[in-house]
Each structure stands twice: as C-alpha cells, then as structure tokens.
Amino acid sequence: MPLLPRRPGTVLEIRRPQPHAVHFTTERGVILHSARNWLVAYFPGDPQHPADPADPAAIRVVGTADVADAIVAYRDLVHCDPAWVLGTWKHLSEAGPGELQAPQVIRIWELAAQLAQHRLDADAASLITHEQLEAWAGRPLTDLDLDRLDVAIPNSSIPAAIGEIVAGLDSKDGREAE
C-alpha cells in the first residue's frame, strides 16, 4: 500500500492480529488530518460496539510507516459498507460529532450517511455485501472491479444458480406446508 497522505474523510483499514489467536481483525479508522508520515484517525468501532469520540483512545495518531504492512485498504466513506457508515454516523451524531474537531470530515460523513441510507433503502433485497464480495474475491475490490462485476454477473451462471436455489426453497416450502 503506498504511504501517500490521504485526504480527510478517507477510511483506513488496518489488519491487526488478535491477541492469543491466529486470526486477524480489520480495524477501520476515519482520517481526520493527515501529513506525509502520519495521520490522525477516529476509530469508531462498529455499530454494536461504538467508540465514543470523546474517548482519547478512539482518536489516534498513526505513523504511516509503522502500519504500512498492516494497511489493507483506503476507501472513501461512500464506498464502505452502508450499514457501518450509517450506524457509526448515528452514534457519532448522538455523541456529538464536534468532538472530532474536523468539520470537513463531519460533513463528508453526514453526506456519506445520507447516501448509505439511500443505498440501504434501494438495495433492501441485496444479499451480497461489499465485504462478502471481497472475501470471495480474496482481495480488496476497486471501483473498476465493482463496475466490471456489475456487467459480468448478469451474463454469468450466477442468475441461473440463484434461480435453482430459489426453486429448491420453493419446493422445500411446499413440502413443509403439507
């Protein structure tokens, strides 16, 4: 991952080992300020375990060289999981976004949350999240990758496979109704 400074409002994803385990966890931080060799980020946790923006442990200075090997992605907030964006924004807006002392980031997050709500409303029947696609792909996906998938999936065997799955569900539902 290049160590270029990122603009405020960009999400930094860092892969961290879990203590006493062979598994890793991905921690997301939203960049508040950045410079050449460091950045300040708010690590909001997740909607089930949100971090309070007033908690000093939630806002950290990160040396980009210190985490270079652990950085798995930089993403714009609008390209993150909409449930995460919206859930963390709701917590942040209730807790007081002014604690971040980053008006530009607050505005970006507010707009991203509005878009996330729209995406969730529009894609209520969507089954595959961005994170699931990346897990299946085995790597982070770019916007170009996602555009290509939008074109490729309807022309692949995936629609037929979904049709077979639904037909199997329908026949199973018919047997259970008897």
Q: Which pTM does this prediction carry? A: 0.62
* pLDDT for residue 114: 92
Residue with the two structure tokens 């109704």: 177
Residue 14 in any domain: the answer is yes
Residue 76 in any domain: the answer is yes
Q: What single DSSP character describes residue 47?
A: T
Residue 137 in any domain: the answer is no
Residue 111 in any domain: the answer is yes
Q: What are phi and psi of 43, to 5 degrees?
A: -100, 95
The predicted-structure confidence for 45-75, as pLDDT tens digits, reads as follows 877 788 888 888 899 898 888 887 888 888 8
Asked if 33 and 39 count as a contact pair (C-beta separation under 8 A), the reply is: yes
Task: Specify the number of domains making up the chain.
Answer: 1
- What is the H or E stretch that residue 105 is in? helix 103-122
Residue 68 in any domain: the answer is yes
Residue 130 in any domain: the answer is no
Residue 21 has pLDDT above 70, yes or no: no
Closest CA to 74 of 12, 27, 131, 2: 12
Residue 143 in any domain: the answer is no
Kindly state the tokens that stand for 138. 């085995």
Domain encompassing residue 16? 10-125
How far is the first Cα of the chain from the last one, in angstroms, to the nearest whole number? Answer: 57
Residue 143 Cα distances to 20, 61, 69, 100, 152, angstroms: 35, 28, 23, 28, 14
Bridge partners, 50 (sequence order): 45
- What is the H or E stretch that residue 25 is in? strand 24-34
Residue 101 in any domain: the answer is yes
